Structures are given as C-alpha cells and as structure tokens.
C-alpha cells in the first residue's frame, strides 16, 4: 500500500472524530444519565415515603438508612463517572476508548445484536494494544485499512458501523433517503438521485 493511500480527507477525519466522540462520550453519558435518573427516582421515592410516614411515627428518617446510603453512594459514583467523562474535553481522543458495552449497545440498536463472544472478537480484531477497548489510533487505523483494502481480508464490521453512524446524524438507527449525505453516496456509486 502506498503511503498516500493511507491518508484521509479532512471531512473523513472530522466525521471519524464525531463518530468516535459519539461512541466514547455521548452514548456512555446517555447511559449514565439513565442510570442516574433511576437512582434519583428511587431516592425520591424513599424520601417521599419517609415524609408520609413521618406523621405516623416521627422516626421515618431512620427507616431505610442503609438503602438511602447505598443509593447515595451509587449516585455519587455515577456523577463522578460523568464528570470524568466530560473532564478531559481537550484530550478526549487520547484518553477515551470505545468499550465492548457501547459497541454491543449500538449494534443492538442498529438491529444487529451480537453475542458477548462476537463483541469480544470485534474488539480483538482492531485492538492492537490488547486492552479490551478501541483507542482513537486503533479506530482510525482500522477505518483506513478497511477503506483501502483491496484483498477483502480486513475485518469490516466496525468499518460498516462507523459508515452508517456517519450518515445517521441523530443516532436513531435510521437513515432517511432524503438526507443530502445519503443522496451524495448514491450519486457517488453511480445511481442518480432521480432514479
């Protein structure tokens, strides 16, 4: 492969960074937000339950101290994890990794659920550092290898998932035919937009 074949366009680089950010920050943040919301709802339920029982015995604050403490600890851990996720905004490509959980979640939302072993294999195929997650450098190299592969021997699942997410701007799992980006892809492939 010639050295010039491994370069990407600025648009590709920006799209790859956007997708990497989605996979390493946005999706984990949404997952943490859902978990945090569930914990806060349980805490509110405990708090409101203790308020309604206060009038009966005046001692409701001591009714579930272990459960309240456990939930508050979980909430603090989730908040700390979210802060850590957002704390390194300037250097996120070097500090964040695509995890197996996120890949499994994304592929399931896209209608292609994989077994845990298949997700392990997907990560192993591109994980040069063997740390069980995909770094920015591994992700970028894998994309470029697949893009320029003439032998069809490179593993392509992560590549195809990345390409789909590039067109799925809202991460809904659907690409509208009317999207300009999808139309450009059709024109590029030789099929006119008008038919």
pLDDT in tens, 135-189: 999 999 999 888 888 887 788 888 888 888 888 766 677 776 655 555 555 544 4
pLDDT in tens, 21-43: 889 888 889 999 999 999 999 88
CA–CA dist 50, 57 (Å, integer): 10
Please report, for the chain, the start and end positions of each structural domain, with discontinuous segments joined by +.
Answer: 8-96, 97-195
> At residue 156, what are phi and psi to the nearest 5 degrees?
-115, -5
DSSP annotation of 134: B
> At residue 179, what are phi and psi to the nearest 5 degrees?
-60, 135
pTM of the model: 0.73
Kindly report the CATH class assigned to 97-195.
mainly alpha
pLDDT in tens, 84-128: 877 766 666 777 889 999 999 988 888 888 899 999 999 999 988
CA–CA dist 125, 119 (Å, integer): 10
Cα angle: 69, vertex 72, 74; to 5 degrees: 110
């Amino acid at each position: 492969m010639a050295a010039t074949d491994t370069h990407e366009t600025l648009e590709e680089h920006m799209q790859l960074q956007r997708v990497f950010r989605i996979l390493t920050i946005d999706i984990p943040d949404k997952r943490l937000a859902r978990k945090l919301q569930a914990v806060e709802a349980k805490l509110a339920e405990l708090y409101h339950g203790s308020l309604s029982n206060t009038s009966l015995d005046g001692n409701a604050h001591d009714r579930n101290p272990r459960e309240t403490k456990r939930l508050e600890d979980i909430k603090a851990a989730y908040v700390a994890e979210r802060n850590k996720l957002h704390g390194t905004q300037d250097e996120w490509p070097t500090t964040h990794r695509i995890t197996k959980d996120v890949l499994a979640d994304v592929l399931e939302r896209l209608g292609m659920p994989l077994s845990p072993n298949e997700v392990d294999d997907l990560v192993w195929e591109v994980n040069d550092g063997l740390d069980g997650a995909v770094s920015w450098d591994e992700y970028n190299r894998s994309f470029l290898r697949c893009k320029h592969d003439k032998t069809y021997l490179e593993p392509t699942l992560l590549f195809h998932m990345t390409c789909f997410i590039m067109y799925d701007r809202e991460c809904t799992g659907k690409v509208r035919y009317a999207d300009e980006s999808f139309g450009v892809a059709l024109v590029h492939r030789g099929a006119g937009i008008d038919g």
